[in-house]
Amino acid sequence: MDTVRVIFKRPFALGLLSLILVLLATLPLYATDYTVILLTAILMYIAITVSWTIFSGPTRYISLASAAFFGVGIYTSAILGKAFPLLAVIGIGGFISVILALFIGLLTLRLRGMYFIIFTFGISELIKNSLLWWETNRTGTVGRWVVAVDHTTVYYIMLAIFAVALLTAYLMRHSKLGLALQSIGDNEEAAAHAGINVTLVKVITFAISAFFMGAAGAIMATRWAYIDPRIAFNPLFSFMPVLMAIFGGMGQLYGPILGAAFFTYLEEILITKFAYYYMLIFGLVLAITILYLPNGLAGLIQKWRKGGVAKQRTDT
Partner 1 sequence: MLVTALDIVIGGLIMGGIYALIAVGLSLQYGVGRVLNVSHGEFIMVGAFITYSLYALFGISPLISLVICGPFLFIIGFAIHRTFFQYLRNTSESLDAFEGSSLLASFGLLFIIQNIALLIWKANVRGYIYLTTSVSILGAVFPANRLTALLFAVVISLAFYIFLRSTRLGKAIRAAAEDSSVAGLLGVNIHRVLAICFGLGALMAGFAGALISMIYEIQPTMGMQYTIIALIVVVLGGLGSITGSLIGGFILGLIGSIVTYIDPGLSLIAYYVIFILLLLVRPRGILGR
Interface residues with partner 1 (CB under 8 A)?
A: 60, 62, 107, 110-111, 113-115, 117-119, 122-123, 125-126, 129-130, 133, 136-137, 235, 239, 242-243, 246, 276-277, 279-280, 282-287, 290-291, 294
Nearer to partner 1, 68 or 218 (CB): 68
Q: How far is the CB of 282 from partner 1 (least distance, A)?
A: 5
Least separation in angstroms between residue 101's CB and partner 1 is 16
Q: Which is nearer to partner 1, 131 or 166 (CB)?
A: 131
Between 94 and 229, CB nearer to partner 1: 229
Angle between the N-to-C axes of helices 254-270 and 275-292, in degrees from 0 to 180, rounded to the nearest 10:
150
Decide if 223 contacts 39 (C-beta within 8 A). Answer: no
Q: How far is CA 234 from CA 66, 147, 204, 261, in A?
A: 10, 21, 25, 20
Closest approach of partner 1 to the CB of residue 67, in Å: 13
Quote the least distance from Cβ 166 to partner 1, whole Å: 24
Tell me whether residue 75 or residue 211 sits nearer to partner 1 (CB atom): 75
Compare residues 226 and 277 and give the one whose CB is closer to partner 1: 277
Burial 132-171 (b: 16+ CB within 10 A, else e): eeebeeeeeeeebebeebebeebbbbbbbbbeebbebbbe
Min. distance of Cβ 263 from partner 1 in angstroms? 12
Closest approach of partner 1 to the CB of residue 200, in Å? 20
Instruction: Using CB atoms within 10 Å of the CB of residue 113, give its burial: 0 to 12 exposed, 13 to 18 middle, 19+ buried.
Output: exposed
Q: Give the integer Cα–Cα distance in Å for 74 and 145.
A: 11
Output 6 or 270, the one with its CB closest to partner 1: 270
